[in-house]
């Protein structure tokens, strides 16, 4: 985690945390971090064991539907995350810029329309829903990361540095376009 924080461009404060991979704990922990730090941008990451590249998640969907238990042993088959909320929220990160900048630097990233049916999508949807209601000026997105064999740590750190740089540049220019 320190290596990620150290990858920040000058003038950027990065706050990093490892969220519990549980439905009960992930959003509670992230919500507390958002409340504590009042960020301008929230970027969540999660492991995608089948991925070969970074995946920029374009949408968070208001559902989880899996028979796989979280790390606390809880299963949430066919569950609406937030009743009476929209079916999905789009990322509020500058997706087009990220999808152009990282490959230009030799780091593969592709667009994904589905953050999955597990804790990643759960926390992503909660974050976008909360920010839409309470802090619509805060950009938010999710990037799935492939296993270490597909993206070694030095490349992952460079990807995060570039991602933060694009987001910082976008903040100087105004609201993040999608």
pLDDT beyond 70 at 36: yes
pLDDT digits (tens, 9 = 90+) for 136-153: 999 999 999 999 999 999
* DSSP alpha helix (H) spans, 15-152: 23-37, 95-104, 119-134
Looking at residue 175, its pLDDT comes to 43
3-state secondary structure of 158: helix
Domains of the chain: 2-10+17-173 (3.40.630.20)
pLDDT beyond 70 at 7: no
144 part of the active site: yes
Residue of 57, 61, 140, 176 marked catalytic: 57
137 part of the active site: no
Q: What is the largest CA-CA distance in the chain?
A: 45
User: Residue 155: in which H helix or E strand, if any?
Assistant: helix 153-173
3-state secondary structure of 48: coil
Residue of 61, 126, 129, 144 marked catalytic: 144
The Cα–Cα gap between 19 and 52 comes to: 23
Looking at residue 174, its pLDDT comes to 44
* 3-state class percentages of the chain: helix first, strand second, coil last, to nearest 5: 40, 15, 45
Residue of 120, 126, 129, 140 marked catalytic: 120
> Which pTM does this prediction carry?
0.92
- Interacting residues of 37 by C-beta distance below 8 A, sequence separation 6+: 15
The Cα–Cα gap between 91 and 108 comes to: 19
57 part of the active site: yes
Q: At what angle do helices 23-37 and 119-134 cross, to 10 degrees?
A: 30
pLDDT beyond 70 at 178: no
Looking at residue 3, its pLDDT comes to 75
3-state secondary structure of 104: helix
């Amino acid at each position: 985690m320190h290596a990620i924080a150290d990858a920040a461009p000058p003038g950027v404060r990065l706050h990093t945390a490892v969220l519990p991979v549980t439905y009960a704990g992930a959003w509670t922990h992230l919500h507390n971090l958002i409340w504590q730090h009042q960020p301008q941008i929230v970027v969540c990451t999660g492991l995608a064991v089948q991925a070969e590249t970074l995946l920029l998640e374009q949408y968070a969907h208001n559902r989880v539907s899996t028979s796989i238990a979280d790390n606390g042993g809880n299963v949430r088959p066919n569950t609406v995350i937030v009743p009476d909320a929209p079916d999905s929220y789009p990322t509020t990160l500058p997706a087009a810029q990220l999808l152009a900048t990282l490959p230009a630097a030799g780091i593969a990233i592709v667009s994904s329309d589905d953050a999955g049916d597990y804790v990643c999508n759960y926390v992503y949807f909660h974050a976008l829903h909360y920010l839409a209601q309470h802090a619509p000026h805060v950009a938010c997105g999710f990037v799935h990361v492939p296993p270490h064999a597909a993206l070694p740590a030095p490349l992952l750190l460079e990807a995060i540095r570039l991602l933060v740089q694009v987001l910082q540049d976008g903040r100087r220019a105004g609201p993040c376009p999608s």
